[in-house]
Amino acid sequence: MARKPGSSPQAMRTRAAKTAAAMSSPAAVAQSEPKKKVSPGQFAKEVRAEARKITWTSRKETWITSVMVAIMVTLAAIFFWVVDTGLSFAITQFLKLANAG
């Protein structure tokens, strides 16, 4: 299989060095303008506008997801109970065997 151009180890090191140099230069740090203060009323308006953009899940989807989570938690609990019981039995038998001999 042919290599892609620029995928040689040397090319990758060169790109990494260029990226590191660009990130460490002071010009790379964006100079953002200071944030202007907003009144509490304007802030509340912006919060409401952002809240309207949220797409909430339907009741049906929430119910299905909740049931699936409950099923998975139950299965995980059963699995760990079986593993715990099995290990406990095995260790008990091993210790009985060690004490008997």
pLDDT tens-digit series, residues 17-33:
777 776 666 655 556 67
Residue 96: partners with Cβ closer than 8 Å, 6 or more residues away: none
CA distance 12 to 22: 15
Residues 47-101: tens digit of each pLDDT: 999 999 999 899 999 999 999 999 999 999 999 999 999 999 999 999 999 998 6
Could you tell me if 22 and 28 are in contact, meaning their C-beta atoms sit under 8 angstroms apart? yes
pTM of the predicted structure, to 2 decimals: 0.49
Question: pLDDT tier at 15 (50, 70, 90 boundaries)?
Answer: confident
Are 51 and 45 within 8 A, CB to CB?
Answer: no
Q: Give the residue extent of every domain in the chain.
A: 70-101
Cα gap 60→68, rounded to integer Å? 12
